[in-house]
Amino acid sequence: MTEQEITELAAILVNEHGHTALDIAERRRAQYAQEPHSDGYLLWSRIAAATARLLRVRETRFAGATSGGTRPRM
């Protein structure tokens, strides 16, 4: 899979699951932990890393959009 496809999958996880997206990706990766060189493990490792990056960007943007230390309601 391309990096763009990985990022798109991570974005879907983040959009559907919010801050729990990384936990979901890591649980999926853990399903393949007995074979750390398997395609499934490597794929979910990439998705988990992309999810973590997206969540960091999202949090940074979210924090920058707030004023007075309060977060807007979602």
Domain boundaries, the chain: 3-65
Close Cβ partners of 41 (under 8 Å, ≥ 6 residues apart): 29, 32, 33, 35
What is this structure's pTM? Answer: 0.80
**pLDDT tens-digit series, residues 20-69:** 999 999 999 999 999 999 999 999 999 999 999 999 987 777 677 765 55
- Helical H segments across the chain, by residue range: 3-17, 21-30, 39-65
At 1, the pLDDT band (50, 70, 90 cuts) reads very high
Tracing tokens 């801050």 back to the chain, one arrives at 19
More confident residue, 9 or 57: 9
